[in-house]
Amino acid sequence: MDAALMGSPSVAAGDNPTSGEHRMGTTIVGVCYDGGVVLAADSRTSTGMYVANRASDKITQLTDNVYVCRSGSAADTQVISDYVRYFLHQHTIQLGQPATVKVAANLIRLLAYQNKNMLQAGMIVGGWDKYEGGQIFSVPLGGTILRQPFAIGGSGSSYLYGLLDHEWKEGMSQDEAEKFVVKVVSLAMARDGASGGVVRTVTINADGVSRKFHPGDKLPLWHEELEPQNSLLDILAAGNPDPMGRAKATCPRKCLSHRPYLMAVVAPPSLALPQPQNPTPKPRRRPPRDVASWTSAIARPAKQGDLPAAAAALSAMLSSPAAPAPNDVTLLTVLSACADSPSTPLARRLALSVHARVLKLFPSHLLLSTCLARFYFASRLPHLALQLFDSMPVRSAVTYNTVISGLMRNGLVAAAFEMFDGMPAPDKVSWTALIDGCVKNGRHDEAIDCFRAMLLDGVEPDYVTLIAVISACAEVGALGLGMWVHRLVVRQGLERNVRIANSLIDMYARCGLVELARQVFGGMRKRTVVSWNSMIVGFAANGRCTDAVEHFEAMRREGWFKPDAVTFTGVLTACSHGGLTDDGLRYYDLMKAEYGIAARMEHYGCVVDLLGRSGRLEEAMRVVISMPMPPNEVVLGALLAGCRMHGDVGMAEQLMQHLLELDPGGDANYVLLSNIYAAVGKWDGAGKVRSLMKARGLRKRPGYSAVEIDGDVHEFVSGDRSHPQAEEISQMLGLLMHEMAGHDYDHIIDCMNGE
């Protein structure tokens, strides 16, 4: 890998002046300018000959706005580029937005590191995005990516790095940057004596991408001021025993006086070069000597999330004869980095290696064992974590809390409760892990029960606990308990906590008290995008469509936060429920054009529902057909609901074929199609749908009603007698019916009897 890419003046790969045979290869350069980046490379092989094929074009497109410059093995780097291009394409499809330059650079860094033993190449990633502008990243093998204003790699990179550092200036124009990179690459070609070549440049900015080709006979070669018959190429070709001396003799002194980098080339070794006045020596970082220094060198990239660099530092420590053995802090640092990035292939291999060293050096170390358990839980290997826990001779509260959180994260709720019950003295963190785990696993009633048990146990909840409890109240509609928690928040002085305030807004909105949500929102001194989104979505869900649109416009006017994908989902839902078709379509176009947010599945569902409710079913169908991803059952179900609303049986039958493939067990779609047939009087069709449901063993899932009494939520299903007070409830309903019988409520009684 080119040392120049690391910002070092050492000799680059493929640029070894001490070797007997001078090798020549591609030179790559990347430069940032005011408004974008310019990438440049020459197209030649290691022999210096120009080659016109796909592999020789060392500037490869990864996305619409990201390119990579490649030096070294054309075949190897082309394979890496192809893999990265595929991954970035999948990234764009899944997230609904283009990948950034840094994401592309990280992917290349990862693949290059995994193939470092057989890959000798330099790569520069450059591109432009609307948030960061033009960016250049160099990709050293085994190291972190480096964001730089300029980078150079390949043949001649160490020789020309000083020139690049000296002549690059901030605020370059596009024209200046393009001429500059062409000059740098042509210098490398002239120095190598290439017999032919083309410099290719790619300029990337807000206006798009432009590619240019600069033929060899038009290049500003570094010997441009020499006499044509005495050019360096002629001297080298003639086999002169002292080509450098002849070149200097034929070069005017004024040519060299303002080009110190040429003096370094043409001067013989015995010639003393003029030294710059008042030199400022650059401090050199000394290699680590003691275990603390090595641990610090590992911890720096580990804290930045750069696991490959941390692994490389650990490998250097273990392989260096002068380095001390890693201590427990060193291994703990590496394991923590692995636990923070459990999905990477390197993390598992590295953690297993460290685990083996822990068993050898620190078999009963409490913190190391706890950190290993955390890693195994994060890697979805709970059985290994539990085996490790069982083998620990000593366990702390931190160990128990780590295991409880890990079990909950892996969906093992019963095992987490069993672990909690076996804990000697559960603390605040233990209760919070249990409550939060129940919420995240959909056990909201159990989360509320745990919260009550926590209070009875005399443990004071913190803000993390309260956020989890408020979320559980929102899910089950426990308004009374939610308001009690709100009072507890005020009593503890936590009402200014932004996360708690956002949770309260969501809870009140879900419970139907949107005005209380507005009061909480109005009392916030500091808001976030989540605060605005909670209000907009809350208004939309409660039918306050005008208020939702007004808050969306207020958010745009204030300008502190940009609407995101969730914001537009809320305002599109409001427009759909409020019949604001034209406004909804305008906001949909605004989302893509002004804010650059790619439409996701939920946005398409909102637009289809918007058009379907207004009777524009053909337009809704065109939206479904034009979707870049296959529509799911929610999108098609929204269009099916529009068909029912407007009696379009033909389109409903067409949609039902796709819905049966996507969601064959969904009873709601069958019921909806049956109701469509019934609404237009096609009873045979309705009967066929009911028969099909029966043949497939499907039954309509009954709806339920819920009522909160004294903080407890009671659910009732039609015909259900499982409630412990079912007999008393039935007697009370009978008494009410008797009271109503003396009045003109016969039609109400018929409704209650289901007639």
Residues labelled catalytic: 26
Q: Cβ neighbours of residue 279 under 8 Å, at least 6 residues apart?
A: none
Half-sphere CA count of 570, side-chain side, radius 13 A? 31
The one-letter amino acid at 106: N
According to DSSP, the residues that pair with 147 across neighbouring strands are: 137
- Cα–Cα distances (Å) from 316 to 121, 311, 655, in that order, read 21, 9, 61
- Helix 174-192 to helix 157-167 angle, to the nearest 10 degrees? 150
Of 257, 200, 261, 242, the residue nearest 44 (C-alpha): 200
C-alpha–C-alpha distance, residues 213 and 201, integer Å: 7
For 451, half-sphere exposure in the C-beta direction (CA atoms, 13 angstrom radius) is: 30
Rounded Cα distance, 192 and 223, in Å: 12
Structural tokens at position 291? 């275990």
Parallel, antiparallel, or unpaired for β 712-717 and 146-147? unpaired
Q: Which residues contact 310 (CB under 8 A, 6 or more apart)?
A: 298, 299, 301, 302, 333, 334, 337
CB 488 within 8 A of CB 452: no
Instruction: Label residue 361 exposed, middle or buried (CB < 10 Å: 0-12, 13-18, 19+).
Output: middle
DSSP 213: E
Cα–Cα distance measured from residue 197 to residue 52, given in angstroms and rounded to the nearest whole number: 9
Q: Quote the CA–CA distance of 574 and 549 in Å, as a whole number.
A: 7
Report DSSP letters for 481-548, one per residue. HHHHHHHHHHHTT-TT-HHHHHHHHHHHHHTT-HHHHHHHHHT-SS--HHHHHHHHHHHHHTT-HHHH
Contact yes or no for 535/567 (Cβ under 8 A): no
Q: Residue holding tokens 């080119």?
A: 2
Pick from 25, 54, 74: which is nearest to 189 by CA?
25
Helix ranges (DSSP H) in 579-616: 581-593, 601-613
* Residue type present at position 23: R
Phi then psi for residue 40, to 5 deg, are: -140, 150
Task: Kindly state the helix (H) or strand (E) to which residue 305 belongs, with its residue range.
Answer: none
Conformational region of residue 540, where left means phi above 0, alpha means psi within -120 to 50, and beta covers everything else = alpha
Phi, then psi, of 41 in degrees rounded to 5: -160, 150
Whether 368 and 331 have beta carbons less than 8 Å apart is answered as yes
The answer to whether 521 and 544 are in contact (CB under 8 A) is no
What tokens does 321 get? 């004869």
**Residue 128 and residue 204 in contact, taking contact as beta carbons nearer than 8 Å:** yes
